[in-house]
Amino acid sequence: MAYEDRLFAALADPTRRAIFEHIAGRRQSVAELARTMPVSQPAISQHLKVLKEARLVRHVPSGARRIYSIDPEGLGPLRAWLDRFWSEQLAAFKGVVETADES
């Protein structure tokens, strides 16, 4: 599976997106996430595993816990993929404006 496919498959699930958004706000452990979400702690761990495999989150050990945060290296390819479309749309818009100015 291509990187983009794994990434979008990981974010396609609403629970994983919510977990990702919580972690984007601040670094958190599985227990902290479980307290704020209507999902069990084992389910949170499974969702984090998918997000980690998609390189969207990473963790650092802190005693017996793992603290999860956004993985900026994983977001780089996503940003580049999205920027490609943005650049194409800006170029198309510029062409339309320049054509309208010539009229």
Short-list 103, 5, 31, 86, CA closest to 22? 31
What pLDDT, on a 0 to 100 scale, did the predictor assign at position 103? 64
Q: What is the pLDDT along the chain (103 residues), one digit of tens a residue?
A: 677 788 889 999 999 999 999 999 999 999 999 999 999 999 999 999 999 999 999 999 999 999 999 999 888 888 887 888 877 787 887 788 778 767 6
Q: Determine the Cα–Cα distance for residues 26 and 41; give it in Å rounded to an integer.
A: 18
Sequence-ordered list of residues with C-beta below 8 angstroms from that of 36, at least 6 positions apart, any chain: 22
Provide the sign of the torsion angle of the four alpha carbons 38, 42, 44, 50, taken in this order: negative
Per-residue confidence (pLDDT) for residue 1, from 0 to 100: 60
